Amino acid sequence: MNDIWDILPGLGDKLAAHVVLSASAIGLAVLIALPMAVWASRSPVVARITLGLASLVQTIPALALLALFFPLLLSLRAVFGEGLPTLGFLPALMALTLYALLPILRNAVTAQANLDPGVLEAADGVGMTRWQKLALVEAPLSAPFIMAGIRTASVWTIGAATLATTIGQPSLGDPIFAGLQTQNWALVLAGCVASAGLALAADNLLWVIEVGLAKRSRLQTFGGMAVVMLGILAALWAQGAGSDDRRIIIASKQFSEQYILAQLIGARLEAAGYAVEYRDGLGSAVVHSAVASSAIDISVDYTGTVWTNYLKRADNPGREAMYDTIREWEWQTNGVKVLGRLGFENAYAFAMRENRAAELGVASLTDLVAVAPRLTVGGDPEFFERPEWIAVRDAYGLRFAGTRNFAPTFMYNALQSGEADVISAYTSDGRIAADRLLVLADPKGALPSYDAMLMLSPRIAQDQGVIAALTPLIGAISVEAMREANLAVDREDAAKMTPKAAAAQLAVKAGL
């Protein structure tokens, strides 16, 4: 765990992005909340409506709120044109701003409501106009309470900003999500320590300002504000120094294989002289649309996923026909170029312990039919609802003694401990080799194929340099090589590797 101290210094650019995002969201929320609070203090109806809406937003989980802005912005492109970004800073800013509104608004409205009526009467009595009353009396007397609201909002926002990673905005969530997927706990901790540290620092600084306002100490108030401004300016400067022309952005979804392949692709592009950027840990749902809209340039997607989720097809025309249809559809509908298949599948498959399979004389799903009534089948939580299970069950007439749901990691443990005899595994999973499992053959072709495909966004679909650098990957990665790389990242012992190292090893293995 002491490598966390090696990781932290490398998080500078994530920290800068995190600060800029959080500060922008809080700043925008203040700009919106304060006039709303003034309006609300003049009208109880407005107060009820604004506070009600702000509370409603709080009931939406932050992760969902962030994800919801993607389709929203996508539909707004009809109005604002194709230039409107749908991923990254803009949706993250909008979602976090909404999230920060409530504490600021509520404190500002409460502060106004609790002002001494005698003081307000005096303000009118000495002849203040509405604006003078606001500026000279209401604002300064409410300021410490409003500042307390801004403090609460800041801590929430800095925490929630780690989730911006899932919609492609760099933040301190990047190491957290990457670490969670590859079970690199030092990386997770480093991200958490950095974001918690940032939240604490912001909380303390704003507390200094709040006390300064309450004590009416100008030195303390403006001193605190100056430090906050310096921090934000430093983050902006750091970010400005780091960014240049548009790089090639490579996506990865939230599992190890995707991190490894992203690194493999990135390394080849860098060797060809391209500047690349990674958007790790994206929600699976946003990746496809992000590539179609060129918000992201390269992703690895799977034929079965695209077939079911985007073509909305439930039939199974066979591996080649499925791939050809998808390739044509992507090009015609989205302008996305499917460069080719990497050579391996990450499909659903049924797996058993090798010795148990030998004992029962099972090598294929056909063999399984006879013994199935004595066996228990385990699957991930959604498996028994998926079309793959229904297709297999009906094609072979499989009837098991029982079905059980397990979290993916525990599914393999259940197989070892005998709580399940057969499980729904993923074909490229490293644990198939490590646990000495047998993947049962599917002679009837009931399970749809999940060929890994390299997808290029419309922006780079014609870029000959990119195509030349990535074409050698097509057909180069065997399922055995992919399993080995996945295991290297997923394993818990001393041989555990980072996705980058595993990608380098995979490149050698694939003869690249």
Q: Using CB under 8 A, pick the residue from 28, 53, 84, 128 that binds other proteins.
A: 128
Determine if 211 is a binding residue for other proteins (CB under 8 A). Answer: no
Q: Using CB under 8 A, pick the residue from 42, 48, 216, 436 that binds other proteins.
A: 216
Residues in the interface with other proteins (CB under 8 A) total: 20
How far from 235 is each of 20, 167, 240, 300, 399, CA to CA, in Å?
6, 21, 8, 33, 60
Which x/- pattern, by CB under 8 A, does the window 162-201 give for other proteins?
----------------------------------------
Determine if 44 is a binding residue for other proteins (CB under 8 A). Answer: no
Query: Tell me, what DSSP letter sits at residue 446?
Result: -
The DSSP result for 355-401, as a single string, is HHHHHHT--BHHHHHHHGGG-EEEE-TTGGGSHHHHHHHHHHT---S
What tokens were used for 217? Answer: 């100490």
Distance CA 406, CA 414 (A): 8
Length of the chain: 512
Least Å from the CB of residue 42 to other proteins:
17
Determine if 129 is a binding residue for other proteins (CB under 8 A). Answer: yes
In the bound state with other proteins, the residue whose beta carbon lies nearer, of 56 and 122, is 122
Q: Using CB under 8 A, pick the residue from 9, 83, 117, 511 that binds other proteins.
A: 117
Q: Using CB under 8 A, pick the residue from 136, 267, 441, 504 that binds other proteins.
A: 136
In the bound state with other proteins, the residue whose beta carbon lies nearer, of 80 and 131, is 131
Q: Using CB under 8 A, pick the residue from 12, 61, 85, 140 that binds other proteins.
A: 140
In the bound state with other proteins, the residue whose beta carbon lies nearer, of 212 and 266, is 212
Distance CA 267, CA 512 (A): 11
Smallest Cα–Cα separation from 453: which of 309, 343, 300, 286? 300
What tokens were used for 209? Answer: 């300002």
Least Å from the CB of residue 289 to other proteins:
53
In the bound state with other proteins, the residue whose beta carbon lies nearer, of 141 and 371, is 141
User: φ and ψ at 279, to 5 degrees?
Assistant: -115, 95
In the bound state with other proteins, the residue whose beta carbon lies nearer, of 121 and 315, is 121
Tell me the one-letter amino acid at 444: K
Query: Residue 349, SS3?
Result: strand
Determine if 511 is a binding residue for other proteins (CB under 8 A). Answer: no
Determine if 120 is a binding residue for other proteins (CB under 8 A). Answer: yes
Q: Using CB under 8 A, pick the residue from 126, 271, 407, 468 that binds other proteins.
A: 126
Could you tell me which residues are beta bridge partners of residue 338?
455
Window of 115-123, 153-161, 412-420, 442-450 that interacts with other proteins by CB under 8 A: 115-123
End-to-end Cα, the chain, rounded Å: 34
Tell me the one-letter amino acid at 414: A
Smallest Cα–Cα separation from 161: which of 238, 92, 98? 92
- Measured from the Cβ of residue 53, the count of other Cβ atoms closer than 10 Å reads 14
In the bound state with other proteins, the residue whose beta carbon lies nearer, of 137 and 466, is 137
Determine if 123 is a binding residue for other proteins (CB under 8 A). Answer: yes
Interface residues with other proteins (CB under 8 A)? 116-129, 132, 136-137, 140-141, 216
